[in-house]
Amino acid sequence: QVQLVESGGGSVQAGGSLRLSCAASGSIFRINTMAWYRQGSGNQRELVAKFTSVGTTNYADSVKGRFTISRDNAKNTVYLQMDSLKSEDTAVYYCNAELVPSGSILNMRYWGKGTLVTVSS
């Protein structure tokens, strides 16, 4: 069983910062891409930031220059540092990993349960 567990969500005032963490655990052979998505009220889930296995990163235009994704491969953990938060960043943030479970040859996609970030203006 593979699990992704997020932490670090909460409430903050506009202009503030939060750091999200997501740890992958279980029988994992290799983790390829780790990413953060978010879903605000009434909106579709959208990609926020992605960190590939070769070290490249991608960001949604709306968060470029404010959010930073990083990854600790030794801990199977991905982080999202969120600075200069705006009210429109309010959403449930989901961790996503594309990985190969132990004993498998398939690259599979897993999701965390999400953590709520609320930014008040």
Report the alpha-carbon distance of residue 117 to residue 85 in Å, rounded: 10
61-75 pLDDT per residue, tens? 999 999 999 999 999
Task: Give the pair of three-digit tokens for residue 70.
Answer: 């990083």
Burial letters 4-35, b for 16+ CB under 10 A, else e:
bebebbeebeeeeebebbbbbeeebeebebbb
> 78 exposed, middle or buried (CB, 10 Å; 0-12, 13-18, 19+)?
buried
9 in Cβ contact with 93 (< 8 Å): yes
68-116 pLDDT, tens per residue? Answer: 999 999 999 999 999 999 999 999 999 999 999 999 999 999 999 999 9
Tens-digit pLDDT profile for residues 23-75: 999 999 999 999 999 999 999 999 999 999 999 999 999 999 999 999 999 99
Residue carrying the six token digits 């709520």:
116
